[in-house]
Amino acid sequence: MTAKSAPVPISPPVAAPPGVPAAPARPWRAARRRRRVTAIVIFAIMGVIVIVMLFPFWYMAENSFRNQSQFDQQAGHSLAGWTQLFKELPVVQELVSSTIVCAAAIALILVVATTAGFAFAKLRYRSSGLVFLLIVAAMMVPLQSIIIPEYVNLARFHLVSNYGGAVLVYAALGAPFATFLMATYYRGISDELIEAAVMDGLSYERTFLQIAIPLSLPAIATVTVLQFIQIWDDLLVGYLFLPTNERTITVGLAVLSSGRTTGIPPLMAGSLLSAIPAIVVYLIFQRYLIRGLTLGMGK
Amino acid sequence: MSVTADRPARPARRAGRSRLGRRRRRAGLLLSLPAILLVGALLWAPIGQAIRYSMTSWNGYSAPVWIGPSAYTAALKDPIVHRVLENNALLLLAVPVAIGLPLIIAALLNEHVRGWRFFRSAYFLPTAISWVVIGMVALQFFAANGILNRLLADIGLGSVHSDMLASEYSALAALALTFIWSMIGTNTIIFLTGMATLDPSLIEAARVDGLNRWQIFWRVTLPLLTRFIQFAFVITVISAFSALFSLIFVMTGGGPGLGTTTLEFFVYQAGFAQGQFGTGALYGIILFVIMIIVGIGQLRLIRHEDGGGW
């Protein structure tokens, strides 16, 4: 509030000085002080926003180290939340499940997105432009719109009693944007480079493997980070397509929470535990994540 | 670009070129095949199936009974469907806030005061955690004996004590507030990226002309960000309509009553909780149509922009 109203009344004089050549020092110093005040006000506002944005992390951490009565009174700490979590939820097995599903789906996404991205960017064939458009447009298909036939199909192929179904669905959901991203990246590689490799006797497939892939590692990293967070954090696909004993940590937590019988501290411990891998990936690869997000806006 | 690159070599070795061209096209088809199969089989084909299912009455086990297009007219007259669509429409009210707040935050960050990089990272961090985790904390925030009520009591407003999740519209409001909080990181980054593309000399010129910060933001920065605001708008609407399943699942389970049942959650309830595959598919198709309209709107806006001389 104060930030919005503060600059308004003091601003006009900035443009005025030209008519007064005698005292140039004073308005200049005033302007600098004004700028300092503005900076402090902005800093304060941003500090308040940081509290709002990071509070949930603090809340999870603090309340995971409590038992239910300590939670109710919001006082005192213990390890109860964590010990109870490991008792009520097969945490380790769920973390393993999450890792397997993520790794398999990301591997599949990388295979189809790098090959197709390279093909659409460098090895164009008749109506490849239309095919590219159809693949990218699939981004707009909401999972909920197709989830029932998807379930029927996967059940028919016995893929909802193991990791297979969920991995395939995650891969299909991630593929359109990943293909778009890879194609955008490969367009930046010069045609001459590819043609030169082919003239040297490499097949197009080998050129892709030996030249294009090593050049596109940054884009591959972006896809990996983006998809990791997406899949690790997902509930719907894992909930419907994974058998109970192969649930991911996110699904396990949601189901436990919806039962409304588990105390809050273990749920907070579980939340924090499930969030840690994604937070670590975020902190290390923030750059790639942001690039992936903003690439969606480019052409 | 590729045309000019090809040109010098072409007349000299025409025969070799065309053989190479054939090899290239074949390699292209081969390399794009896995993606075509995956997306075709798991994203496009089910749309056709869903349309077919939507015109049947089917519980998933016994033989489906054909109803035909009248299934849609019946659904669109159903007061329950109206209530669910009303929830979706009400959620749209959160969109301007989910765009406006990040715009202001991005403008503040863009002043590059000390520590702005840290603030940027901190604001974006929630995008790394799942809707499930967000929902779990939000549940504690809005609960009857939760954080919000304790805060109110602390500042002497204990009498306002609220149980937002206990009644229909306030539960939807709680859901919308949580949604807005979750979108802040993504949208702020979008706007910040947009502001980084602006030509600083334009801002400088406006300042020399005597415009203050606030005027510069409204008259110079904002109009130049149109494309980014459109992008954020589409992302936000898509999220509001198709990414809130987990949040609803954890926070309210769609209730109380139908209070927080949006179309996407309705698909799950009809299809999986009640075993009505036909009806669930139908709601899914309605959702798809809404998404197409949003998507086409975006496409038209972009094309309009391109025509406007970029």
A184 CA to chain B: closest CA distance, Å?
Answer: 14
Query: Between chains, do A140 and B291 touch, taking CB under 8 Å as contact?
Result: yes
**A44-61 per-position pLDDT tens digit:** 999 999 999 999 999 999
Chain B positions in Cβ-Cβ contact with residue A44 (cut-off 8 Å): none
**Distance (Å) of CA B66 to CA B49, B54, B59, B284:** 13, 9, 12, 18
- Which residue in chain A has the smallest CA separation from B150? A74
Here the tokens at position A17 are 């000085």
Instruction: Report the candidate in A257, A240, A158 with the shortest Cα–Cα distance to residue B271.
Output: A240
Task: Name the residue with tokens 């922009």.
Answer: B305
Chain B positions in Cβ-Cβ contact with residue A194 (cut-off 8 Å): none
pTM: 0.87
Q: What is the pLDDT of residue B220?
A: 87
- pLDDT < 70 regions, chain A: 1-27, 293-299
What average pLDDT does the structure give for chain A?
86
At residue A178, the 3 state secondary structure works out as helix
Here the tokens at position A79 are 């390890």
State which amino acid sits at residue B270.
A
At residue B56, the 3 state secondary structure works out as strand
Q: What is the pLDDT of residue A88?
A: 83
Is it true that the peptide bond before B256 is cis, omega within 30 degrees of 0?
yes
10-residue block means of pLDDT along chain B (310 residues)?
42 60 90 96 95 88 85 91 95 95 93 89 91 94 87 81 87 96 93 88 86 85 89 90 93 90 94 90 94 80 46
Assign 3-class secondary structure to B58-122. Answer: CCCCCCCEECCCHHHHHHHHCHHHHHHHHHHHHHHCHHHHHHHHHHHHHHHHCCCCCCHHHHHHH
Burial of B3 (0-12, 13-18, 19+ CB in 10 A): exposed
Q: What is the pLDDT of residue B287?
A: 95
Size of interface A-B (CB pairs under 8 A): 309
State which amino acid sits at residue B149.
N
DSSP code for A65: T
Q: What is the pLDDT of residue A295?
A: 67
Euclidean distance between CA atoms A95 and A101, whole angstroms: 10
The interface pTM score, or ipTM, of the predicted complex is 0.86
Compare CB distances from B133 to A151, A198, A275 and report the shortest one's residue: A275
Query: Between chains, do B35 and A112 touch, taking CB under 8 Å as contact?
Result: yes
Determine contact: B214 vs chain A, CB below 8 A. Answer: yes
Determine contact: B8 vs chain A, CB below 8 A. Answer: no
Query: Between chains, do A282 and B128 touch, taking CB under 8 Å as contact?
Result: yes
H helix intervals, B7-69: 14-39, 45-54
A124 CA to chain B: closest CA distance, Å?
Answer: 6
Q: Are B51 and A159 in contact (CB under 8 A)?
A: no
H helix intervals, chain A: 2-5, 7-10, 25-64, 68-73, 80-88, 91-122, 128-137, 143-156, 163-187, 191-199, 204-207, 213-215, 217-232, 236-241, 249-258, 264-295
Determine contact: B111 vs chain A, CB below 8 A. Answer: yes
**A235-267 per-position pLDDT tens digit:** 999 999 999 989 999 999 999 888 777 789 999
Compare CB distances from A125 to B29, B108, B119 and report the shortest one's residue: B29
Query: Between chains, do A150 and B46 touch, taking CB under 8 Å as contact?
Result: yes
Q: What is the pLDDT of residue B14?
A: 52
Q: What is the b/e burial string over A126-154, where b = at least 16 CB atoms within 10 angstroms of the residue's CB?
A: eebeebbebbbbbbbbbbbbbbbbbbbbb
Euclidean distance between CA atoms B34 and B17, whole angstroms: 27
Q: What is the pLDDT of residue B307?
A: 40
Q: What is the pLDDT of residue B9?
A: 44
Q: What is the pLDDT of residue A31?
A: 80
